[in-house]
Amino acid sequence: MVNNPSKMIELGEVPDVNPQDFNASDVAALADRLERDDYDNAFESLNDWHILRSLAFKGSSLVEPYRYLLDLEAFDEC
């Protein structure tokens, strides 16, 4: 099973994300879980979504292929 960063934080807690802690395969696995909705509960998916969103806001180019999962609007913090 792929390492799931959403299981390493408390439910409902917004994760503190350092883009240097993620590589392309980490982000791909995260995006794959979001696409498949492969979670035991809604909080795990929300945590993964927050991780992906945080990576995008911090300028990680690894998120570009998966930006559509974030449904970002022009007025968002990006």
What is the rounded CA–CA span in Å between residue 67 and residue 52? Answer: 9
What is the rounded CA–CA span in Å between residue 54 and residue 28? Answer: 15
- Residue 28 included in any domain: yes
Domain count, the chain: 1
What is the rounded CA–CA span in Å between residue 26 and residue 62? Answer: 9
More confident residue, 40 or 77: 40
Q: Residue 46: which of 2, 1, 6, 4 has the closest Cα?
A: 6
pLDDT given for residue 57 in this prediction = 85
- Residue 7 included in any domain: no
pLDDT given for residue 38 in this prediction = 84
Q: Residue 45: which of 12, 3, 2 has the closest Cα?
A: 12
Name the pTM for this structure: 0.70
Tell whether the model's pLDDT for residue 5 goes beyond 60.
no
pLDDT given for residue 40 in this prediction = 92
Domain that holds residue 76: 20-78
pLDDT digits (tens, 9 = 90+) for 28-47: 999 999 999 988 998 888 88
